[in-house]
Structure 1
Amino acid sequence: MLIPNILNVAINLFFIYFAVSLLLSALQEQIISLLALRAKNLKSSIITMLGDGDKDTKLLTDNLYQHPLIKSLNQQGNKWLKRTRNILFIPINLLLNYFNKKSNKKNSITWNSIGPSYLNSEIFSDTLLDLLRKDYGLYFNTYSDGINNIINQLEKELARRDNSQNIQESRSGENPNNNTSKLSKLPDELLKNLYALALQTKNKAAEGNATITEFNNNIANWFDESMERATGVYKRNAFGLSLLLGFMIAIIGNIDTIHMINQLYNDPALNETLSGFAKQQIETIESQCKNELPEVTNDCIKSKFNNLNLNDIRSFPIGWEVQEIETTKNNSSQANKTINFNFFGYNIQAKRQQNSALFTIFGWIITAFALAQGAPFWFDLLNNVLKVKVRSSGQRYDSTTNKQK
């Protein structure tokens, strides 16, 4: 009975993680949407991509976002969401400005200056080239000599900046930055990157007949590569948010992993009953979502799970016990050993026996890390454990229906 009992503990534990992870993901999506975290990350990444976050870089980024091709992508949402954001942005901007001054961050942005959450690489490259031509005086045409014109102009500007630097070093007190060229307003990093991309376009072109279209494509590829790196940063930040929300949910719902394992393992009857309930729920979800396309399976799982009757989930060893204070006076010595507090005339304590508060907090931390893995992870793992349980009982598992035979 040892192996089946352990498998049942795993099934029940993974089912709780799966169910609560759905709640966490829904809450996280609302927070990300409300605070426009994706849009903020995109704009911050573009600022980093174009330069070092100085005044010229921010001005160029603002001009990009005001371009009709990008400005038309910005969706403000309904009036309620916009008003809520405006209210939240006031204290958030104050905090950001404070921490930016402390850390001397140059590529910081205010939360009310954000734009779209996603930007296509072709739209970015078209917008940047159009902006360089109209506002920064980068002349080119669509003929084969267009790339040569760009290279010559960028070379002259780079040479001018090098000469200006040399003069500034040799003649202190003289201001060499008296050039009236519009290209002088471009950030140094962007100028160097554009020059490298232009040379790359020319070198890769057949017989040297490079076109502006190929240069445009190289800018788009450069944008895609930069956004891939930015996506990694965003995922790490999102995982941190998941940990924070997971820990909060674990506290509010008293989802203590250590306590759940102890209770389930020491009560085989309850363990078996709850694992049967979890198995039934998972089979119901899979039977309704098995014909869905892979890209919409997760959405189907969420919607079907929300429609199921989860009243029996109260039987799982989670949550808080609420009692009137008078009934707990005689148990004050035991209450001091556990998480225990008063709330409007009621005594609230964790569902446990002789576990210290330290174990409780550690159990919450384990739960937070588990919930941060996401519902799809636990759904797949739960399916695998169910298959192992069926096979260990000597029965065959039908992979087409996900049921035992």
Structure 2
Amino acid sequence: MNIPVIFDLALGLVFTYLILSLLASEIQELIATVLQWRAEHLKKSVEIFLAGDVDNSEDAHVIELANNIYSHPLVKNINQEAKGFLVTLPRRLTWGIGSLYRSVKTARPGGDKDETIFGEKKRSGPSYIPSDIFASTLLETLQLPTMIQTLTQSRLEKFKNAQLGKIEQVLIELQQQTNDDETSASFINTMFQQYAETQADFEQISWNFQNQKADLNTSVTRLGESLDRYIEVFQTEMPKQDLFDKALRKINFIKKNIFEDIEQAISSGGLRPNLNEVVESVNKDSAVHNEIKEAAVQQAISLGVLPKPNLNEAVESLRRDNAIFQEIKEAVKDKESPTNQGIRNVVQSIDLIDKLPKSVVENISVLGKRAQSSIQTTEEGIHTLRKEIERTFDTSMERASGVYKRNAKGVAIMLGLGLAIIANADAFHMISRLSKDSALRETITNNAGEILLRNENNQAIANPNSQEDQVNYALNQLTRQADGALNNVALPIGWSDVNLDQQIAWTHKKNQSFPFLRILYMLPGWIFSGIAIAMGAPFWFDLLGKFINVRNAGRRPASYSRSQVENNENGGG
């Protein structure tokens, strides 16, 4: 055979495998859609990301956390579905097939056989989650902002009480040191009354922070301003005696030492949790998590949710077990005020965190350490942690995508082998036919050239960086064109009498049994074709273009080529 014949033979094989690869791609895409392989793979990848490794990803509590993330409105909005009976009819069919497929699988840890991989008997899930949405959803599911707000509120409450205690101590000492003269007694009574007003002012400031009507800096600043007003009244009303001057200096020292620099006051009082404390809040064995628990109990007691006589008794009960949280949940479950909702969120978050496996806690801790830097505020810490989760999630999903592609390639090989047998695509028989039939070679070459010309400006098929939607659209166009080409080409495949006669010298018309032993001669050709089909339509389309370019020793002018295609389509008319 000369060189042009060899090129035509190779081009015929490439064209045949392009046709079969397009069919295999359509079948594989249909199976992946019906069984929701992408969505299932994403869900399992999320569980692996949360657990930190594959072994711990099957833990029931990891699955529960992942299900909670999938139940979040942000993730639900990604998985949008059509409404109405007619438009959802095809979807209902795929749900039914998917349910049948999942019914033969064993139940997942922590769930029953009826529960789907997406949790809560959901029938579908998203096949892609943006990293920013995942990071925000994870933090909100763990209620980290709420937990940190509760912790900060508790520390602000202790800080407030400490400053009030110092002022009260000054007044008590002053009362003990003064004589029982009328002027001193009147002044001390006035200052105790003013102290009560300052205490009420402090409580209002704390309440505003609790209800997120003021941030931490504003709240501490207002505490200082309230103390300034107390000092002003003290200075205006006090008798001219050294004893009262000394008391005023003590109160001024409290003000100057604590409130002169607001950031210093926040830092020295430990009011603003750092990133390490944010991360430690999800560790049920940490001091920070126990502090949050005590803060939640204290808040419930102060609001009258728990009928406990004092905080110490409640804290002791908390240290023995978590039964007290069940009492809180029962007390606020039917009350929809913002305050009760806040307590409910904290208790639910504590419940969830107490169930977190050690692997999840360690994974979040590692992310926190990576994000730790020169962070000034808790908000910056949470923002930095969110960005680190986004970055790590993107990296994890890239690896998961690689795993999915490898799995899909394995399915493609099995599908390609099955299609090669069903279509009787014997590679060696095709080579034999193409080498002997010049008319067949020319017909395939012409049709392949026309298909290539129609798609010469479509770079999405062979470009590995193309978006999946672009590739699918281009492949759909190519499939329609290939279907049209098949009307003009009798490919050397199939189980027709003509092909079987040329392949194994047997037809249905012969009064002979099927020569099953000859299948052994066909098997190597099927295996070769199965692997070739699994290489995918983009590969064969790209190779087709290269073969035609080499065969033609350079492309013909675009205007001439297109006019030839149009003439062929119009029957030359």
TM-score bracket, normalised by the shorter chain, equals 0.7 to 0.9
Aligned partner of 1:336 among 486, 511, 515: 515
1:121-200 to structure 2, matched below 5 A, reads 121-133=131-143, 137=147, 145-154=273-282, 157=285, 180=322, 182=351, 183-200=353-370
Deviation at 1:299, TM superposition (A): 2.5
SS in 1 for 2:538: helix
SS in 1 for 2:281: helix
Instruction: Tell me the residue number matched to 2:325.
Output: none
| Pair 1:178–1:322, CA change in 2 (3 A) | farther
Instruction: Tell me the residue number matched to 2:27.
Output: 27
Deviation digits for residues 289-347 of structure 1 (CA, Å, limit 9, x no counterpart)? 47999654663353155146324454221111259988310x54xx4156xxxxxxxxx
| Pair 1:238–1:159, CA change in 2 (3 A) | farther
Instruction: Tell me the residue number matched to 1:3.
Output: 3
Higher mean C-alpha deviation, range 317-326 or range 134-143: 134-143
Aligned partner of 2:105 among 88, 96, 99: 96
| 1:303 matches 2:431 | no
Q: Could you say which structure has the larger radius of gyration? A: 2
Instruction: Tell me the residue number matched to 2:493.
Output: 318
Deviation at 1:131, TM superposition (A): 1.2
List alignment gaps of at least 5 residues for structure 1.
102-107, 162-176, 339-355
Instruction: Tell me the residue number matched to 1:388.
Output: 550
Aligned partner of 2:535 among 363, 373, 381: 373
SS in 2 for 1:218: helix
Q: Which amino acid aligns with 2:61?
A: D
Deviation at 1:12, TM superposition (A): 0.5
SS in 1 for 2:493: coil
Could you tell me how far apart the structure 2 residues matched to 1:87 and 1:135 are? 40
1:145-294 to structure 2, matched below 5 A, reads 145-154=273-282, 157=285, 180=322, 182=351, 183-202=353-372, 204-205=373-374, 210-286=380-456, 289=458
SS in 2 for 1:310: helix
Instruction: Tell me the residue number matched to 1:109.
Output: 117
SS in 1 for 2:535: coil
SS in 2 for 1:119: coil
Residue pair 1:136, 1:185 contacting (<8 A) in 2 also: no
Deviation at 1:151, TM superposition (A): 3.8
SS in 2 for 1:130: helix
Deviation at 1:399, TM superposition (A): 8.2
Deviation at 1:282, TM superposition (A): 2.2
Residue pair 1:151, 1:195 contacting (<8 A) in 2 also: yes
- Higher strand proportion, which one? 1
Could you tell me how far apart the structure 2 residues matched to 1:178 and 1:6 are? 84
Q: Which amino acid aligns with 2:38?
A: R
Q: Which amino acid aligns with 2:80?
A: Q
Instruction: Tell me the residue number matched to 1:75.
Output: 80
Q: Number of aligned residue pairs: give it.
A: 356
Deviation at 1:28, TM superposition (A): 1.6
Could you tell me how far apart the structure 1 residues matched to 2:508 and 2:75 are? 64
| Pair 1:399–1:217, CA change in 2 (3 A) | farther
Could you tell me how far apart the structure 2 residues matched to 1:291 and 1:216 are? 34
Could you tell me how far apart the structure 2 residues matched to 1:10 and 1:384 are? 11
| 1:59 matches 2:68 | no
Q: Which amino acid aligns with 2:551?
A: K
Deviation digits for residues 171-213 of structure 1 (CA, Å, limit 9, x no counterpart)? xxxxxx96645432222122112112212212x3468985321
Identity of aligned residues (%): 31
SS in 2 for 1:28: helix
Could you tell me how far apart the structure 2 residues matched to 1:233 and 1:156 are? 34
| Pair 1:314–1:274, CA change in 2 (3 A) | closer
TM-score, length-scaled by structure 1: 0.75
| Pair 1:249–1:401, CA change in 2 (3 A) | farther
SS in 2 for 1:286: coil
Deviation at 1:110, TM superposition (A): 7.1
Deviation at 1:8, TM superposition (A): 0.8
Could you tell me how far apart the structure 2 residues matched to 1:298 and 1:265 are? 34
Could you tell me how far apart the structure 2 residues matched to 1:301 and 1:33 are? 16
| Pair 1:301–1:63, CA change in 2 (3 A) | closer
| Pair 1:206–1:21, CA change in 2 (3 A) | same
TM-score, length-scaled by structure 2: 0.55
SS in 1 for 2:496: strand
Residue pair 1:50, 1:187 contacting (<8 A) in 2 also: no
1:349-360 to structure 2, matched below 5 A, reads 356-360=518-522
Residue pair 1:255, 1:367 contacting (<8 A) in 2 also: yes
Q: Which amino acid aligns with 1:45?
A: S
Residue pair 2:22, 2:475 contacting (<8 A) in 1 also: no
